[in-house]
Amino acid sequence: MVDFSKMKAAQGFFAPQRYEADIFDCETSGSIPSELDGAFMRLGGEWYYPPKFEDDAILNSDGHVSSFRFKNGRVSYKSRFVRTPRFEANLKAGAQQFGYYRNPFTDEPSVKGMDRTVANTTPFAFAGRLMALKEDGLPHLIDPNTLETVGRENWGGKYKGPHFTAHPKVDSDTGEMIAYGNESNGLAGDEVYVATIDKTGRLTHDTRFKVPYVSIMHDIALTDKHIIFPFAGYVTSMERLKAGKIHWGWDNSKESYIGILPRGAEGKDIRWFKGPLRCMMHTFHARTVGNKVIMEAPFYDGNFFPFFHNVDNSPWARDKAKGYLRRLTFDLNSKHDGWKEEILFPTPIVDIGAIDRRYLTRDQRYVFTGFTDDTKPFNVAQGGNLRGRITNSYGRFDVKSGQMVSMFAGETHSLAEACFVPRKGGDEGAGWVMGVASNFANMNSELVIADAERLSEGPIARVVLPFRAAPQVHGTWVGGNELPFA
């Protein structure tokens, strides 16, 4: 019998449910756009067995993939666990065999040397394949119709790294994908492996480089000429892991580093810039303009994750866990190794959001992401005492004009990551914004859909589930022509 009673994560709305679901025709309200043909894919973590240690990171929970399939104005829903070797080993044992997040020294002897990834971060479609990604392992292939796990992907053995990022980038003009793997030379290793894979799935170039110090390198940015690699603050070492700690800790004495590598170049050609300490997890977009590289990204002021403790044992600082939409400018002709940084909006935002991916490597105008609008009401009587801890709005942030318009999800709702769905033939930013909202009053989940050009008018439709959907890290829209949908 599985006992979650002593597990801190087992309380409240996100208590583990250990289910897989099929709904063939979902309840909806409003008007589902008939043009939507494809699927909103979600991936996140759900504990099938309680963690071995109560203070483990939620990032260590089992991968759980789900899909809202749109066709002819109707929506179906499906969810499955990602059947990784780790998941199967736990199922066979009937208990959690794996210890702290990315620390094999804390595992049970029976699973020593086994692939530890839970494949729980990003659903990603490329070259006709759907993948479940997490940066500590190779992609797991997912059948887009059944959501069953069908194997792992290493591009015919051509991909030479043990890890594959949760955030590869696909060039919007050439269709080629830039991917990478951190710690590619072993646990706590200082090497990054970078690969270019063309739109047919053929690996065309790879290289490696060393980092100034080993840190989380969760996301990159891409221009038509450069790859941008940001990291900061989080540290690890073999000594730390052998001491039985979670993989990452936060070091307030470190600087931020951002590497810029010309596309197609060798690792030795990377140039490192450094600046004030930020928590650098995700990026939005970037562009190369003459001798300058310009990037927009939602970096935090400090350590965002309370479960990655400060290495000096100081308490986690909630006031530093605020993200702002920033513009960073790098002058490649200058001998100066810093960058210019601007905060574009005073509103703290969620650092996971969306752009129009059709223009990924170009000069873009719009960013769509969540934030907390303190001027909007929250119904404590129905939703609980969650004021200040919910994301109640999506915003369209115009980085050219400095204007922001927003959509309010509801007085008992909190939103997951925003996803942008382009309207066929439309200009940048023309389409829909969608994302899953947790309804704390009804203890269920709703997929909220809004017109991206008229966000302030509120949702135009909702897909209402009769239960709480599994937690989401990232979601993505996959058009009906991108995968072999039935």
DSSP 85: H
Whether 2 has a pLDDT exceeding 90, the answer reads no
Structural contact between residues 231 and 260, judged by C-beta atoms closer than 8 angstroms: no
Q: Tell me how far apart the alpha carbons of residues 241 and 153 are, in angstroms, rounded to a whole number.
A: 28
| Residue 5 pLDDT | 64
In 173-310, which residue ranges form alpha helices assigned H by DSSP?
238-242
Which positions ≥6 away from 67 have C-beta within 8 Å?
A: 39, 40, 41, 42, 77, 78, 79, 144, 147
Please tell me the distance from the alpha carbon of residue 8 to that of residue 11, in angstroms, as a whole number: 6
Cα torsion 136, 139, 144, 148: sign = negative
Query: How does pLDDT run across 30-66, given as a tens digit for each residue?
Result: 999 999 999 999 999 999 999 999 999 999 999 999 9
Tens digit of each residue's pLDDT (9 = 90 or more) over 134-156 = 999 999 999 999 999 999 999 99
Q: Which residue has the tokens 């891409």?
A: 222
Q: Which of 307, 240, 241, 280 has the alpha carbon at shortest distance from 45?
A: 307
Q: Has residue 1 got a pLDDT over 80?
A: no
- Residue 236 contacts residue 247 (beta carbons within 8 Å): yes
Per-residue pLDDT, 135: 98
> 182: closest CA among 168, 197, 200, 203?
168
pLDDT tens digits for range 83-118: 999 999 999 999 999 999 999 999 999 999 999 999
- Model pLDDT for residues 293-323, shown as the tens digit of each residue: 999 999 999 999 999 999 999 999 999 999 9
β-pair partners for 403: none
Residue type for position 484: P
Q: Where are the alpha helices (DSSP H) in 231-292?
A: 238-242
Residue entry with tokens 């203070």: 55
Q: pTM for this structure? A: 0.96
Question: Residue 272 and residue 259: Cα distance in Å, rounded?
Answer: 4
Specify the long-range contacts of residues 108-111, CB closer than 8 Å, at least 24 apart. 111/86
H helix or E strand, kind and range, residue 88: helix 85-93
- Residue 10 — pLDDT band, cuts 50, 70, 90? low
Residue 14: its pLDDT value, please?
Answer: 79
> Is pLDDT at 344 greater than 90 in this prediction?
yes
What phi and psi, each to the nearest 5 degrees, are found at residue 221? Answer: -125, 155
- Ordered by start, the domain boundaries in the chain are 8-479
pLDDT value, residue 410: 96
State the Cα torsion 369-372-375-379 to the nearest 10°.
120
pLDDT tens digits, residue range 200-247?
999 999 999 999 999 999 999 999 999 999 999 999 999 999 999 999
- DSSP conformation letters of 391-441: --EEEEEETTT--EEEEE--TTEEE---EEEEPTT--TT-EEEEEEEEETT
Query: Residue 446 — pLDDT band, cuts 50, 70, 90?
Result: very high
**Amino acid present at 140:** H
Checking if the pLDDT of 275 tops 80, the result is: yes
- The partner residues of 330 in beta bridges, in order of sequence, read 293
Amino acid letter for position 198:
D
pLDDT at 3: 74
Q: Which amino acid belongs to residue 273? A: F
Buried b / exposed e over 82-110, threshold 16 CB at 10 Å, is bbbebbebbeeeeebbbbbbbbbebbeee
pLDDT in tens, 11-27: 678 788 899 999 999 99
Residue 119 has pLDDT above 60, yes or no: yes
Q: With CA atoms as reference, report the closest residue to 104 among 244, 262, 230.
A: 244
Contacts of 299 (CB under 8 A, 6+ apart): 230, 278, 279, 280, 281, 323, 324, 326, 351
State residue 195's pLDDT score.
Answer: 98
Q: Which of 314, 167, 148, 312 is nearest to 229 (CA)?
A: 167
pLDDT of residue 389: 83
